[in-house]
A = this chain, B = another copy of it.
Amino acid sequence: MDQTLELAQQALAAANEAKFLANNLWLLVATVLVFIMHLGFATLESGFVQRKNVVNIIFKNVMIVSIGLLTYYFIGFNLMYPGVNEGGFFGFAGFGLTPPEGGMTDAYADYTYWTDFIFQGMFAATCCTIVSGAVAERIKLVPFLIFCLLFVTISYPMTGMWKWGAGWLDARGFYDFAGSTIVHSVGGWGALAGIILLGPRKGKYTEKGIKPIPGHSMPLAAIGVFLLWFGWFGFNGGSVLSGDPELVSLIFVTTSLAAAAGAIGAFVVSYFMFKSFDLSMVLNGILGGLVGITASADSVSVGSSLLIGVIAGILIPLSVTFFDKMKLDDPVGATSVHLVCGIWGTLAVAIFGNFDKGVGEFSDQLIGILAIGAFTFLFAFIVFYLLKITLGIRVSAEEELKGLDIGEHNFTAYS
């Protein structure tokens, strides 16, 4: 009998190892998917800017992901997940990574410490990538990279901690499954601060009205949107933090249907507004649907995900038109996609979410949106402002005219 007991214990341990193995692998696959979203952003933004600014936008995106990973290693991860100070506003677990004593496995979670770091690290740089598109075609390279360094090292992890690091917003009941607010609207607020201080591109808002400045390559933009959708399976699906069969598969469904519904919403409304089949609106409609469902992908019904997506899609042409009326020039529509739909998605939690799953009330959601929004906008505004009065943030009118590729890189994207 002792032998049988031993065998049964061995079998149970092996079964648990197998689960840990599969769960951890799913998080790693999700990491790979989130990683490729950086290519998605790079191609989307490249496609939506003018030919003369393509090297610059790619350069920024390449640097952002590199800076983001390195600073997340040195500081960000331990600022976002201090592991102490529950319910608090700020915490820091020290520089660099300190793997847990006693090993990597079941003591920690359904995945290893390294997996935790690299999955979260891939998210971190996203907030800057969002800003990068909005301030494109007129921002100076070095000040922008300094902004990113500060934004991704300090601002993003701090507000992220408030919820995901068991901080005060988590204690208050705020709910944001995979980051409609914590990732996307954070990027959107940074973008808004940037475009306010930068001002619009020359020739965009003229006395004769708003002059569209079309992007230089729709295939690149479309590649970007498909890759972002592709990566979002990891972004939302990985945020379960395990491979839980029911939950991950439900999230695949809600995420996909919200994206598809976003396309339809933007298609219909932009047709009525502009009397044409507007590809860039439909592409941004998909992204709006994805941002919108991100806060609640795990806790709404499939039918609700359709509504969340279609409303996000409808918001896109309205929001793009609104920002243009306010003369807030955003070449890629990042504020509409990430800020407006990020807010919408965070509120939608309280409207459509399953309260059994612990989603927040409307007031909780609103507090989260406002607190994170206010902190982030102020942080970004102050940093951009200090850069503006010191290094300057805007290229010269001459450089803007000939393009940043020549001005900043002495190179052209095509030859």
Whether the Cβ atoms of B250 and A216 lie closer than 8 Å is: no
A222 to B36, CA, bound (A): 12
Whether the Cβ atoms of B246 and A112 lie closer than 8 Å is: yes
Q: Is A206's beta carbon under 8 Å from chain B?
A: no
| Partner among B10, B14, B46, B121 whose Cβ is within 8 Å of the Cβ of A256 | B121
A104: min CB distance to chain B, Å: 4
Q: What copy number does this chain have within its complex?
A: 3
Query: Could you tell me the dominant secondary structure of chain A's interface residues?
Result: helix
A119: min CB distance to chain B, Å: 9
A175: min CB distance to chain B, Å: 21
A233 to B34, CA, bound (A): 12
Query: Within residues 36 to 70 of chain A, which ones have a CB less than 8 A from any CB in chain B?
Result: 36, 38-39, 42-43, 46, 50-51, 54-55, 58-59, 61-63, 65-67, 69-70
Residues of B within 8 A of A8 (CB): 4, 7-8, 11
A14 to B18, CA, bound (A): 9
A363: min CB distance to chain B, Å: 31
A119 to B19, CA, bound (A): 23
Residues of B within 8 A of A220 (CB): 219
Q: Is A336's beta carbon under 8 Å from chain B?
A: no
Whether the Cβ atoms of A66 and B259 lie closer than 8 Å is: yes
A4 to B12, CA, bound (A): 11
A248 to B31, CA, bound (A): 12
A267 to B59, CA, bound (A): 10
Q: Is A85's beta carbon under 8 Å from chain B?
A: no
Whether the Cβ atoms of B112 and A245 lie closer than 8 Å is: yes
Whether the Cβ atoms of B21 and A245 lie closer than 8 Å is: yes
Q: Is A261's beta carbon under 8 Å from chain B?
A: yes
Q: Is A257's beta carbon under 8 Å from chain B?
A: yes
Q: Is A390's beta carbon under 8 Å from chain B?
A: no
Residues of B within 8 A of A413 (CB): 217-219
Q: Is A73's beta carbon under 8 Å from chain B?
A: yes
Chain B residue with minimal CB distance to A227? B39
Whether the Cβ atoms of A25 and B28 lie closer than 8 Å is: no
A326 to B32, CA, bound (A): 39
Chain B residue with minimal CB distance to A125? B260
Given contacts A230-B35, A277-B59, contact A96 B303 (CB under 8 A): yes
Q: A-side interface residues toward B, CB under 8 Å?
A: 1, 3-5, 7-12, 14-26, 28-29, 31-33, 35-36, 38-39, 42-43, 46, 50-51, 54-55, 58-59, 61-63, 65-67, 69-70, 73, 96-97, 103-105, 111-115, 117-118, 121, 141, 214-220, 222-223, 225-227, 229-230, 233-234, 237, 243, 245-246, 248-250, 252-253, 256-257, 259-261, 263-264, 267, 276-279, 282-283, 286, 302-303, 306, 408-415
Counting from the closest, the 8 A-B pairs by CB-CB distance are A14-B15, A39-B226, A114-B249, A18-B18, A11-B11, A11-B12, A66-B260, A66-B263
